[in-house]
């Protein structure tokens, strides 16, 4: 038996939690997934610009973007595909960030941005304006959708904060369900009495990226503000994931954290609805996919969710152009058809569906 020398220093514990360079295994893996997500988004953007009613090559796209000479393909890429691709990236980033934030704050694995009444608030604003003023231009519709989404979210937060224990996940979900039901009832009543409002609602509810690129020039400040607030909410969300009491002991103001988070969700989801209409499943699926790749750390979950959301929307929009060529299926329809069975698969895997 080996004898111990009292002068011998004890062996240092094995540092299994770190790798060469000081990165933990989880962090290095998450960084790789972030790089892979960025590469996938870039590839999806290239596909979006190459595929359309008339396919084009990479050389055609490069020529149209950097050395245009007025050819038909140059105009197609610059005037139609490039703005649509940028819109899809922005809307996907908004939906990915909003989905990750809402699931984190409500501790609800099946929550999506529409839980706060955002979609129905936007719909109520559009049909109300149409019923009162007749046909509304596309840009005015987008701004009305944003205003309605903001109003519904503020109402949900005000109702949830009025409860005895403040704006807890339970009170926010209940307030969101109540406001959504109220707005849905009002929308149904208006469209039954007004044919113009019904036609407008039908077109808006499809969820599409076609012909809406002019909206981006108006709402980009709200997108930037929402993204900044989402980044500022990362540390509080990591603390809140351990429980409200633990977050308070770590110096986190629960009310302030939820107020910042819900403001970010409202700005991001409202912007997404304004740009593309109520697109289902994107804000619901993206956080689950990202959490399976990076783990629950919001320092990685937030940026990878943004990139994954953009990639998902780009691929869905491109697939819609391929499936129904020479026409196209809207991105909302493609995501609904592809997202429903995929989410059922995720829901059956308990480890991924639990927050």
Residue 12's pLDDT band, with cuts at 50, 70 and 90, is very low
Residue 26 is predicted with a pLDDT of 65
Residue 67 is predicted with a pLDDT of 83
Residue 24 is predicted with a pLDDT of 46
Rounded average pLDDT over 244-252: 85
Cβ-contact 58, 50 below 8 angstroms: yes
Assess whether pLDDT exceeds 90 at residue 79: no
Q: What is the DSSP letter of 296?
A: S
Give the other-Cβ count within 10 Å of 255's Cβ: 11
Question: Which range, 143-152, 324-333, 337-346, is most confident?
Answer: 143-152
Cβ-contact 196, 265 below 8 angstroms: no
State the chain's mean pLDDT as an integer. Answer: 82
What is the Cα–Cα distance from 140 to 156, expressed in whole angstroms? Answer: 24
Residue 7 is predicted with a pLDDT of 44
Per-residue pLDDT of 265-307, as tens digits, reads: 988 988 888 888 888 788 888 998 898 888 889 999 999 999 9
Q: Pseudo-torsion of CA 128, 132, 133, 139, nearest 10°?
A: -10
Which of 149, 124, 142, 122 has the alpha carbon at shortest distance from 275?
142
Contacts of 163 (CB under 8 A, 6+ apart): 171
Q: Among 60-64, 285-289, 305-309, 351-355, where is mean pLDDT lowest?
A: 351-355
Residue 64 is predicted with a pLDDT of 86
Residue 149 is predicted with a pLDDT of 85
Tokens of 311: 């990639």
What is the Cα–Cα distance from 68 to 177, expressed in whole angstroms? Answer: 51
Per-residue pLDDT of 97-109, as tens digits, reads: 999 999 888 887 7
What is the Cα–Cα distance from 171 to 270, expressed in whole angstroms? Answer: 21
Per-residue pLDDT of 310-334, as tens digits, reads: 999 999 999 988 887 777 888 888 8
Contacts of 276 (CB under 8 A, 6+ apart): 87, 88, 91, 207, 208, 209, 212, 313, 331, 332
What is the Cα–Cα distance from 307 to 287, expressed in whole angstroms? Answer: 11
User: Sign (positive/negative) of CA torsion 290, 296, 300, 305?
Assistant: positive
Residue 281 sits at φ, ψ, to 5 deg, of: 75, -25
CA 190 centroid distance within chain? 29
In angstroms, what CA-CA distances link 281 with 81, 110, 236, 237?
A: 24, 10, 26, 22
Question: Which range, 125-129, 198-202, 243-247, is most confident?
Answer: 125-129
Place of tokens 């609602």: 201
Helix axis angle, 298-323 to 216-232, nearest 10°: 150
For the chain, what are the domain ranges? 84-353
Superfamily name with CATH number, domain 84-353 = ABC transporter involved in vitamin B12 uptake, BtuC (1.10.3470.10)
Tokens of 39: 């590469």
Tokens of 300: 């990685």
Question: pTM value?
Answer: 0.83
What is the Cα–Cα distance from 88 to 80, expressed in whole angstroms? Answer: 12
Residue 255's pLDDT band, with cuts at 50, 70 and 90, is confident
Assess whether pLDDT exceeds 90 at residue 243: no
């Amino acid at each position: 038996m080996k004898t111990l020398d009292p002068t011998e220093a004890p062996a240092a514990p094995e540092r299994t939690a770190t790798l060469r360079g000081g990165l933990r295994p989880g962090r290095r893996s998450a960084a790789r997934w972030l790089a892979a997500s960025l590469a996938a988004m870039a590839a999806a953007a290239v596909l979006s610009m190459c595929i359309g009613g008339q396919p084009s090559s990479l050389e055609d796209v490069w020529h149209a973007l950097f050395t245009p000479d007025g050819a038909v393909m140059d105009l197609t890429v610059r005037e139609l595909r490039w703005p649509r691709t940028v819109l899809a990236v922005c809307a996907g980033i908004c939906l990915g960030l909003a989905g990750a934030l809402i699931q984190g704050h409500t501790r609800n694995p099946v929550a999506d941005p529409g839980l706060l009444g955002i979609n129905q608030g936007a719909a109520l604003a559009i049909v109300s304006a149409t019923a009162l003023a007749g046909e509304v231009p596309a840009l005015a519709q987008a701004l009305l959708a944003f205003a309605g989404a903001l109003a519904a979210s503020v109402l949900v937060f005000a109702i949830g904060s009025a409860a005895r224990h403040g704006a807890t996940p339970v009170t926010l979900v209940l307030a969101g369900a109540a406001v959504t039901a109220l707005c849905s009832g009002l929308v149904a009543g208006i469209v039954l009495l007004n044919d113009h409002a019904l036609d407008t609602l039908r077109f808006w509810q499809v969820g599409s990226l076609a012909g809406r690129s002019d909206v981006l020039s108006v709402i980009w400040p709200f997108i930037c503000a929402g993204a900044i607030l989402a980044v500022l909410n990362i540390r509080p969300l990591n603390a809140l994931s351990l429980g409200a009491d633990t977050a308070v002991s770590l110096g986190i103001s629960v009310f302030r954290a939820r107020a910042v988070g819900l403001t970010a969700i409202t700005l991001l989801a409202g912007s997404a609805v304004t740009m593309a209409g109520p697109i289902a499943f994107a804000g619901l699926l993206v956080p689950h996919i990202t959490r399976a790749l990076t783990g629950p750390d919001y320092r990685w979950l937030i940026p990878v969710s943004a990139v994954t959301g953009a990639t998902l929307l780009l691929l869905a929009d491109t697939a819609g152009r391929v499936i129904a060529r020479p026409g196209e299926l809207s991105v909302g329809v493609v995501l609904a058809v592809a997202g429903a069975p995929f989410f059922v698969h995720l829901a059956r895997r308990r480890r991924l569906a639990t927050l």
